[in-house]
């Protein structure tokens, strides 16, 4: 690192003071000894004042000026002054600006308030690592480095947001990454035109405005081990300052159906769990439509005993099957949303009691049949086995499409709707990768 003298430190000091609002947390100190004077400029709510005292003020009073200048130039946290705009940007992020003689130094003493590693709360597993990302970019990067100690790991930094200027790290392995995908990701990031950018989840919002896709084409995770596994598979990860989640690109259907639990289980147990998830996926999408189609249009597909049982349970229900299904599904959606919004202490209790009372009362009042309650419960449980929430939400919506078609066309509508859904998923792509790709080969472009 080379340092150069600033030609007019007094002018730069005055200019910086004019450009930043003089609030109570903006500190400008002038320190004296018998032979030397320094001025330090920082924001105390962003900078670590203990380090300011230990690494800056104490050495200033304890060593001679020449040695203090050598100390500053050799310190790894010190950067050279380039221009006023960059200095002001660094100042508002916690960097301490130091003026001494004709020199200006930028001392990186940012306070990292969210550096503690958090436990996973969204993607929990019974076995395997339990640590998740924090809101500190440095901590998150360290967690990935710890699990992916490869010299080929590369990263590119960019800033998104005209006002927020949020730092985003694009992480990939030079050895395995698909260059075409990487170029698509770079193009996507450079095309983002937004004022405030706070988290990786916002990328979903930005991309959906372009393609209006029902299913997500990027995966948001809180697990460092999932990021490491995907980097090894040639994918790209994005880390956003202040966000405890990473974004993985590109993603296909099987990524949304995979849990980190799979690689911590034995071979057959892992495959059985995957089978259960796909069974849950099909059950969640098809079962309500199948119930309406077979009850209202094609009861002949049932055995006689089952057909009589269903008909008997619906004798007190005053409206058609599709209204019965629709009412119960929407009630279940409301309960699910309520459980996500209520405080953790009362959320599970309120939704369990609400579900039991609503289900029992609706059945006894003859508003819905017993079999309908069983079907809605099965659909809800099946939906919850999908490990990625963003995909789970999309599946919750997709089942209404099949339900509408089954209401008008019976079993034929279910079959046609299913094929339309598959065709739609085939048409999707995630940064150049087809969404229904079943096998992914590691790229060896580099």
What is the distance between the alpha carbons of residues 285 and 421, in angstroms, rounded to a whole number? 10
Average confidence score pLDDT of the chain: 83
Query: Measuring CA to CA, which residue among 383, 380, 386, 382 is closest to residue 358?
Result: 380
430 Ramachandran zone, left/alpha/beta (phi>0; psi -120 to 50): beta
Question: Would you state the pLDDT for residue 287?
Answer: 92
**248-299: pLDDT as tens digits:** 988 888 888 888 888 888 888 888 999 999 999 999 999 999 989 988 888 8
Q: Report which of residues 325 and 116 the model is more confident about.
A: 325
Rounded to whole angstroms, the Cα distance separating 140 from 149 reads 14
pTM summary value:
0.78
Q: What is the pLDDT of residue 418?
A: 92
pLDDT of residue 357: 67
Q: Which two tokens stand for residue 297?
A: 């249009």
> Residue 267: CB partners within 8 Å, gap ≥ 6?
none
Question: How far is the C-alpha of 205 from the C-alpha of 212, rounded, in Å?
Answer: 10
Residue range 296-314: average pLDDT? 81
pLDDT for the residue 7: 57
DSSP state string for 122-166: SS--SSS--EE--S-HHHHHHHHHHH---TTEEEEEEEE-TTT-E
Q: Which two tokens stand for residue 435?
A: 């969404």
pLDDT band of 443, cuts 50, 70, 90 = very low
pLDDT in tens, 91-143: 888 889 998 888 888 988 888 776 677 777 778 788 878 888 888 888 888 88
- 37-92: per-residue pLDDT in tens? 888 988 888 888 888 888 888 888 888 888 888 888 888 888 888 888 888 888 88
CB half-sphere exposure, 77, CA atoms < 13 A: 14
Tokens for 35, please give them. Answer: 């032979």
CA distance to 118, 123, 225, 264, 286, per residue, from 129 (Å):
11, 11, 8, 10, 35
Residue 109 CB contacts under 8 Å (≥ 6 apart), including other chains: 42, 47, 48, 51, 52, 55, 56, 77, 94, 95, 96
Q: What is the pLDDT of residues 69-84, one digit of tens each?
A: 888 888 888 888 888 8
Residue 3 scores a pLDDT above 70:
no
| Paired tokens of 192 | 């983002």
> Running DSSP on this structure, what letter comes out for residue 365?
T
């Amino acid at each position: 690192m080379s340092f150069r003298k600033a030609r007019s430190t007094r002018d730069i000091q005055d200019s910086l003071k004019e450009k930043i609002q003089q609030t109570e947390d903006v500190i400008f100190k002038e320190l004296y000894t018998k032979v030397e004077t320094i001025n330090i400029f920082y924001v105390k709510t962003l900078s670590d004042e203990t380090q300011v005292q230990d690494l800056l003020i104490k050495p200033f009073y304890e060593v001679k000026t020449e040695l203090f200048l050598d100390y500053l130039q050799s310190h790894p946290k010190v950067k050279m002054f380039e221009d006023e705009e960059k200095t002001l940007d660094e100042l508002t992020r916690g960097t301490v600006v130091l003026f001494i003689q004709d020199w200006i130094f930028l001392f990186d003493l940012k306070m990292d308030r969210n550096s503690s590693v958090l436990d996973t709360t969204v993607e929990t597993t019974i076995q395997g690592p339990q640590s998740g990302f924090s809101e500190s970019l440095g901590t998150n990067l360290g967690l990935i480095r710890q699990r992916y100690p490869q010299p080929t790991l590369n990263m590119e930094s960019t800033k998104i947001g005209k006002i927020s200027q949020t730092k985003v790290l694009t992480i990939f392995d030079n050895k395995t990454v698909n260059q075409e995908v990487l170029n698509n990701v770079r193009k996507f990031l450079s095309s983002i035109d937004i004022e405030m950018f706070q988290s990786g989840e916002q990328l979903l919002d930005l991309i959906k405005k372009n393609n209006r896709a029902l299913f997500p084409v990027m995966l948001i995770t809180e697990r460092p081990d999932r990021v490491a596994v995907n980097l090894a598979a040639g994918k790209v990860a994005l880390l956003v300052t202040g966000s405890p989640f990473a974004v993985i690109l590109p993603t296909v259907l099987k990524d949304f159906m995979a849990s980190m639990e799979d690689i911590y289980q034995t071979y057959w147990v892992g495959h059985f769990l995957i089978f259960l998830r796909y069974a849950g996926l099909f059950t969640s999408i098809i079962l309500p439509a199948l119930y309406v189609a077979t009850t209202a249009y094609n009861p002949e597909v049932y055995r006689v005993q089952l057909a009589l049982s269903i008909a008997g349970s619906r004798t007190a229900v005053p409206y058609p099957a599709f209204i019965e299904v629709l009412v119960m599904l929407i009630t279940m959606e409301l309960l699910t949303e309520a459980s996500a919004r209520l405080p953790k202490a009362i959320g599970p209790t309120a939704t369990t009691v609400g579900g039991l009372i609503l289900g029992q009362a609706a059945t006894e009042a003859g508003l819905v049949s017993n079999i309908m309650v069983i079907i809605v419960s099965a659909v809800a449980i099946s939906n919850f086995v999908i490990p990625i929430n963003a995909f789970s939400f999309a599946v919750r919506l997709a089942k209404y499409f099949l339900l509408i078609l089954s209401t008008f066309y019976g079993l034929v509508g279910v079959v046609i709707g299913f094929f339309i859904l598959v065709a739609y998923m085939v048409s999707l792509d995630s940064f150049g990768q087809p969404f229904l790709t079943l096998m992914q080969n590691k790229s060896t472009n580099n």
